[in-house]
Amino acid sequence: MQKQTKYNLSETNIANLGSDLEKKIKEAAANKEIAWKNCGKAAGLQIWRIEKFKVKQCPTSSYGTFYDGDSYIILYAYKNPKTGALSYDIHFWLGHETTQDEAGTAAYKTVELDDWLHGNIHAHAVQHREIEGGESAQFLSYFTTPIKILHGGIESGFRHVEPEKYEPRLLQLSGKKKIRVQQVPLKRESLHSGDVFILDTGKHIYQMNSSKSSGLLHHKGMQVATAIESDRKGLAKITVLDSENDVEPGFWSFFGGFGPIQSAEDAGQHEGEKAHGDKRLMKVSDSTGSLEFTEVAVGSEISKSLLNSDDVFILDNGEEVFAWIGKNSSKDEKRTALDFAHKYVMDHNLPEHTPISRLVEGGENMTFKQSLKA
């Protein structure tokens, strides 16, 4: 299956799937999805990868590592502090190089998993769309170390490589609150003075703490470097460069020799941390006989009293977008909720990677609740 350079975000919601793609997905699901058989029965994290319309369980040892050519489904189960019952969040994560088939299957299977939980465990889940580079704070909180995003896909994933056969790679740690690890091209132009970089050569791991990088990035970088070293079972060594002015020949030999790198200012802020403006509340309603999408409120404070159980509402909290499903909303309103959330992102020129979540009345998560004034 040949990878396209970038999938079309306008087709990542299940209602927008083309007939041929939807037919293939339904055929693959015809014999009931066995991947869901034992899921959601205990608190914790479960991750699956989409492989040619099929849902494949990821080994726990790979949790936190994602490939930019793939699509994943992540289920997080936790005990509700008030009731003691299990509550759920389902995320589908899309890499920049994933195929349209994989992205569409992940979206479809997320809905299917929610339906399975509702039918078998009698619980609804909050559904989230995560795009590489714009992961939500909630998604990142599931992992004790920063997530790693590596190049490749199904063909390169889950494949153990011995250090002596290892192809060198450069990892970049960036962010202030939402720390993430991204594989970047192994060239001087990838380096700058604002982030931490890890050069993994197999037997030697170099961590460069650039002069304007934070102590938190240094700490997280050492966690990542140590994890890589541990995976090599004593066959690798870690060397730390205190700044880009550290003349460590082993590190610089991969960049054409010691020399200047671009400044943090020239590199710019990591786009995934930028807020995109004021809060905004929109309503999806067919009370007039046809679906209408109207603005309800704009500003720094939006009251939860504006929500109405008879309709669907789209909330933009400045960082992510929520589709809230009123318990008495119509079938069409429920069916098109994610489409209208996506339409909002596109119409307001928000970043393509803006996280989108779908939740039902009574099953709101803390992020949504904290976005509204009581």
Whether the Cβ atoms of residue 295 and residue 314 lie closer than 8 Å to each other: no
How many Cα neighbours within 13 Å face the side chain of 362? Answer: 7
Output 30 or 294, whichever has higher pLDDT.
294
pLDDT mean over 1-24: 49
Q: Determine the average pLDDT of the residues in 94-117.
A: 90
208: its two tokens: 């460069």
pLDDT > 70? residue 155: no
Confidence of residue 137 (pLDDT cuts 50, 70, 90): confident
- Residue 117: pLDDT over 80: yes
pLDDT at 366: 84
Fold agreement between 14-150 and 169-255: yes
Query: Thinking of the domain 14-150, which architecture would CATH place it in?
Result: 3-Layer(aba) Sandwich (3.40)
For position 165, what pLDDT does the model report? 64
Indicate if the pLDDT at residue 30 is higher than 80: no
CA dihedral of residues 71, 279, 80, 37 (deg, nearest 10): -20
Eight-state DSSP code of residue 164: G
Residue 219 identity (one-letter amino acid): H
Q: Over 70: is that where the pLDDT of 43 sits?
A: yes
| 106-to-13, 113, 213, 287 alpha-carbon distances in Å | 10, 10, 36, 32
Which has the closest alpha carbon to 230: 315, 305, 145?
A: 145
Site of tokens 């994989």: 102
pLDDT of 297 over the 70 cut: yes
Tokens of 146: 């920063």
Instruction: Report pTM.
Output: 0.77
Domain ranges of the chain: 14-150, 169-255, 279-371
Phi, psi of 67 (to 5 degrees): -105, 135
Distance CA 113, CA 125 (A): 9
What's the pLDDT band for 9 if we cut at 50, 70, 90? very low
Q: Nearest 5°: phi and psi at 319?
A: -130, -35
Res 14: pLDDT: 43
Phi first, then psi: give them for residue 256, nearest 5 degrees. Answer: 80, 15
Lowest-pLDDT range, 7-16, 21-30, 289-298? 7-16
The mean pLDDT value for 267-273 works out to 55
Alpha-carbon span 217 to 194, nearest angstrom: 10
State the pLDDT confidence band at 273, using cuts at 50, 70 and 90.
low
- CATH homologous superfamily for the domain 169-255: Severin (3.40.20.10)
80 pLDDT more than 60: yes
Cβ atoms of 44 and 86 closer than 8 Å: no
CA-based torsion, 267, 178, 227, 161: positive or negative: negative
Residue 41 · residue 79 · CB < 8 Å:
no
Angle between helices 100-120 and 19-28 (to 10 degrees): 50
Q: Which residues of 104-131 are buried (b: 16+ CB within 10 A; e: fewer)?
A: bbbbbbbbbbbebbeeebebbbbbbbbb
Give 247's DSSP letter: -
All residues at 6 or more sequence positions from 368 whose CB lies less than 8 Å from its CB, including other chains = 315, 317, 322, 324, 357, 359
Give the pLDDT score at 260.
Answer: 93
Statement: residue 292 has pLDDT above 80:
yes
Q: How confident is the model at residue 27 (pLDDT cuts 50, 70, 90)?
A: low
The SS3 assignment for 172 reads: strand
Q: Residue 54's beta-bridge partner residues?
A: 51
Is 279-371 in CATH node 3.40.50.300? no
Strand order in the sheet with 237-241: 65-67, 148-150, 180-184, 169-174, 196-200, 204-209, 237-241
Work out the mean pLDDT of the chain and round it to a whole number: 86
Report helix, strand and coil shares of the chain as percent, to nearest 5.
30, 30, 45
Structural contact between residues 41 and 191, judged by C-beta atoms closer than 8 angstroms: no
Q: What is the CA radius of gyration of the chain?
A: 22
Angle at 242 between CA 237 and CA 248, to 5 degrees: 60
pLDDT band at 187 (very low <50, low <70, confident <90, very high): very high
Say how far apart CA 364 and CA 330 lie, in whole Å. Answer: 19
Cα separation, 304 vs 374, whole angstroms: 6
Instruction: Please say if the pLDDT value at position 170 is more than 90.
Output: yes
Confidence of residue 8 (pLDDT cuts 50, 70, 90): low
